[in-house]
């Protein structure tokens, strides 16, 4: 699957647009369109439902993006949240030093009278055998020595732009859970182990953003900080290690449950030398994106680093009183941290299929019904017949009280189906002459509408009053085959 295909589908069908496109676009910033916002909200909604609402050991918060600047000193972001950066002295382009050999490079080959070649990433020139030393983009400029570049966006709080008023846009949502640890603990009377979750925007001034919505400077995260008592043991193991593995399993199962195929998912253990300054162990869930295997989310054991740091810098105690042992402990933290935009990219890439149906190509997004931006499309078969059109509008209005449902009569039925397949709408409802009848000919309608299922393209006839109950069953996870077995198939 090619990223360009997804970018083009996203634009054409209202999932994702280039930000400020009419002004030439803003680098690495993207806007979610009418279908993109639905898909994104659905991802966040099921994540929240499954990991917060459904669990007795989880609560949520929604914190401010701007935080006290000392938060970032205590967390280590001011000192450590840096990437090594190099500049081309010729064309002034900027690269992450550790990514510079991961891109194809331009080479003016001395063995071929200086002919220009584009050589695959990391490979030497096939003519002269040279490896890249100059700028990979222009092929001419020397690169500067690496300099550390802090990825946090700076801004000023209040009307005076002076150092004392400087603050940062949060580069992760996590710190709000640590600084609110005691507020949440006291207000909710929680017992360890418990987690605090948050979904929201984060900002990183990435040196080399790119690959569509994979790496951007403004993105959304869904993060959980799961606090455990380090003195506890679960199934004979230290509680933090046990819970770390549990969260890895649960997160992996979650992505599979909503449609990512097993063969496109894998775990990657961080090497000792790549662990973040706070982590005892980190495991990434990687997805086989159109750009290759890359991080979808990370699950880290952050130990007691953050709570201890914030206690030290704020002077406030951030401990938990262990009733059994009659002692105060600083909890350890297991952190499942996912990116909403990356999850959306993975769900779209995995769902995208090109199929052949009766000699014609059909593009279909086999999105999980809970994620699909539109749940049902209501399509009248004869738009010249007022009674058919009226019935279709009524069905849409009834279903739309519970789900995102659209009406469309702007093309022939075959084309309307293809349009809905391409955006992943799991069900279409059609209203036809058989439904309403034909008064002029004295024919009575059967009062049934046709439901067509996206993946199998099977069609059944369902009495109109039963549609809400049927969709409640289907959209709550009921199997199509079971529902279809109860109704007659549609003709034709
Ligand atoms: N609190 C830990 C943390 O932020 P991270 O691995 O830096 O960990 C977690 O980020 C997730 O956030 C990543 O796995 C990825 O899905 C998403 N993410 C991070 N940087 C991103 C970026 N520049 N653009 C889009 N998503 C990003």
Q: What is the DSSP string of 211-236?
A: TTTTB-SEEEEEEEEEEE-TT-EETT
Token output for 481: 């085959």
**d(Cα 445, Cα 436) in Å, to the nearest integer?**
4
Token output for 361: 């190509």
State in Å: Cα 68 to ligand 1 middle: 21
Of 189-198, 275-284, 295-304, least confident by mean pLDDT is 275-284
| Confidence class for position 353, pLDDT limits 50, 70, 90 | very high
| Confidence class for position 367, pLDDT limits 50, 70, 90 | very high
Query: How crowded is residue 207: how many other Cβ atoms within 10 Å of its Cβ?
Result: 17
The ligand 1 atom at the shortest distance from the C-alpha of residue 206 is 23
Sheet holding 94-96, edge to edge: 94-96, 82-87, 147-150
| Confidence class for position 425, pLDDT limits 50, 70, 90 | very high
H/E stretch holding 428 reads strand 427-431
Q: How many CA atoms lie within 13 A of 285 on its CB side?
A: 28
User: What are the φ and ψ backbone dihedral angles of 78, each rounded to 5 degrees?
Assistant: -65, -35
pLDDT at 253: 98
Residue 383's SS3 state is coil
Q: Are strands 218-228 and 332-339 parallel, antiparallel or unpaired?
A: antiparallel
Residue 297 CB–ligand 1 contact under 6 Å: yes
Residue 298 CB–ligand 1 contact under 6 Å: yes
Please provide the DSSP assignment of 125-137 as one string.
Answer: PTTT-PPP-S-TT
12 vs 438, residue with greater confidence: 12
Across the range 140-149, mean pLDDT stands at 94
Residue 362's SS3 state is strand
DSSP 270: P
Residue 172 CB–ligand 1 contact under 6 Å: yes
Average pLDDT, the chain: 96
Task: Answer yes or no: is pLDDT of 109 > 90.
Answer: yes
**d(Cα 425, Cα 374) in Å, to the nearest integer?**
5
User: Which protein residue has the closest C-alpha to ligand 1 atom 12?
Assistant: 339
**Residue indicated by tokens 């706070």:** 278
**d(Cα 101, Cα 121) in Å, to the nearest integer?**
6
State in Å: Cα 245 to ligand 1 middle: 20
Residues 299, 305, 308, 313: what is their CA dihedral angle, to the nearest 10 degrees? -100
Across the range 147-169, mean pLDDT stands at 92
pLDDT at 162: 87
Percent of the chain with pLDDT over 90: 92
pLDDT at 27: 84
Across the range 248-266, mean pLDDT stands at 98
**d(Cα 164, Cα 441) in Å, to the nearest integer?**
83
Q: How many CA atoms lie within 13 A of 334 on its CB side?
A: 24
The ligand 1 atom at the shortest distance from the C-alpha of residue 215 is 24
State in Å: Cα 33 to ligand 1 middle: 22
Residues paired with 292 in a beta bridge = 289
CB-count exposure of residue 336 (10 Å: 0-12, 13-18, 19+): buried
Across the range 344-360, mean pLDDT stands at 96
Across the range 44-58, mean pLDDT stands at 98
Task: Answer yes or no: is pLDDT of 189 > 80.
Answer: yes
Residues paired with 106 in a beta bridge = 118
pLDDT at 55: 98
Write out pLDDT tens, residues 369-405: 999 999 999 999 999 999 999 999 999 999 999 999 9
User: Which protein residue has the closest C-alpha to ligand 1 atom 15?
Assistant: 339
The separation between CA 161 and the C-alpha centre of its own chain, rounded to angstroms, equals: 35
Residues paired with 160 in a beta bridge = none
Q: Are strands 376-380 and 427-431 parallel, antiparallel or unpaired?
A: parallel
Token output for 176: 């709000």
Task: Answer yes or no: is pLDDT of 492 > 70.
Answer: no
Of 197-211, 295-309, 390-404, 432-446, least confident by mean pLDDT is 432-446
Strand blocks (E) in 270-370: 281-289, 292-303, 320-322, 327-329, 332-339, 352-357, 360-365
b/e for 1-15, b at 16 or more Cβ within 10 A?
A: eeeeebbebbeebbb
Which among 429, 420, 289, 407 has a CA at the least distance from the CA of 363?
Answer: 420
Residue 295 CB–ligand 1 contact under 6 Å: yes
Residues 467, 470, 476, 478: what is their CA dihedral angle, to the nearest 10 degrees? -150
Task: Answer yes or no: is pLDDT of 441 > 90.
Answer: no
Residue 221 CB–ligand 1 contact under 6 Å: yes
Asked if residues 165 and 157 have their Cβ atoms less than 8 Å apart, the reply is yes
Residue 337 CB–ligand 1 contact under 6 Å: yes
Rg of the chain (C-alpha set)? 27
User: Which protein residue has the closest C-alpha to ligand 1 atom 20?
Assistant: 215
**d(Cα 281, Cα 303) in Å, to the nearest integer?**
9
């Amino acid at each position: 699957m090619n990223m360009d295909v997804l970018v083009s589908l996203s634009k054409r069908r209202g999932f994702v647009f280039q930000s400020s496109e009419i002004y030439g676009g803003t680098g690495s910033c993207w806007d979610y369109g009418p279908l993109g916002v639905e898909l994104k909200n659905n991802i966040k909604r099921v994540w929240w439902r499954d990991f917060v609402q459904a669990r007795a050991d989880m609560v949520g918060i929604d914190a401010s993006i701007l935080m006290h600047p000392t938060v970032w000193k205590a967390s280590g972001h001011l000192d450590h949240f840096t990437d090594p950066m190099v500049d081309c002295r010729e064309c002034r382009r900027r690269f992450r030093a550790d990514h510079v050999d991961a891109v194809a490079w331009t080479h003016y080959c001395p063995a071929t009278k200086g002919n220009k070649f584009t050589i695959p990433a990391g490979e030497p020139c096939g003519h002269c055998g040279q490896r890249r030393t100059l700028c990979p983009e222009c092929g001419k400029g020397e690169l500067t020595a690496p300099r550390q570049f802090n990825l946090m966006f700076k801004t000023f709080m209040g009307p005076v732009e002076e150092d004392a008023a400087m603050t940062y846009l949060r580069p992760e949502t996590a710190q709000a859970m640590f600084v609110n640890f005691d507020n949440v603990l006291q207000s909710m009377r929680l017992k360890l182990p418990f987690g605090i979750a948050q979904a929201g925007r984060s900002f990183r001034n990435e040196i080399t953003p790119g690959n569509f919505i994979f790496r951007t400077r403004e993105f959304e995260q869904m993060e959980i900080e799961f606090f455990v008592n380090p003195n506890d043991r679960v199934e004979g193991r230290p509680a933090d290690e046990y819970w770390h593995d549990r969260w890895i399993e649960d997160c992996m199962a979650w992505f599979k449950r909503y449609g990512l195929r097993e063969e496109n998912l894998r775990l990657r253990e961080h090497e000792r030398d790549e662990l973040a300054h706070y982590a005892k162990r980190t495991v990434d869930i990687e997805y086989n994106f159109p750009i290759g295997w890359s991080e979808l989310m990370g699950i880290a054991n952050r130990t007691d680093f953050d709570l201890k740091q914030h206690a030290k810098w704020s002077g406030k105690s951030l401990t938990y009183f262990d009733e059994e042992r009659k002692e105060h402990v600083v909890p350890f933290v297991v952190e499942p941290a996912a990116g909403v935009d990356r999850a959306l990219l993975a769900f779209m890439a995995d769902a995208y299929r090109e199929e052949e149906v009766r000699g014609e190509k059909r593009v279909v997004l086999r999105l999980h019904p809970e994620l699909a931006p539109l749940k049902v499309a209501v399509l009248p078969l004869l738009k010249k017949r007022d009674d058919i059109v009226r019935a279709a509008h009524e069905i849409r209005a009834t279903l739309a009280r519970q789900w995102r449902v659209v009406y469309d009569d702007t093309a022939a039925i075959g084309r309307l189906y293809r349009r809905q397949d391409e955006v992943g709408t799991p069900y279409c409802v059609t209203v036809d002459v058989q439904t309403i009848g034909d008064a002029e000919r004295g024919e009575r309608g059967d009062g049934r509408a046709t439901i067509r299922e996206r993946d199998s393209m099977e069609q059944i006839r369902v009495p109109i009053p039963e549609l809400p109950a049927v969709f409640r069953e289907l959209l709550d996870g009921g199997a199509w085959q079971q529902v279809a077995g109860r109704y007659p198939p549609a003709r034709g």
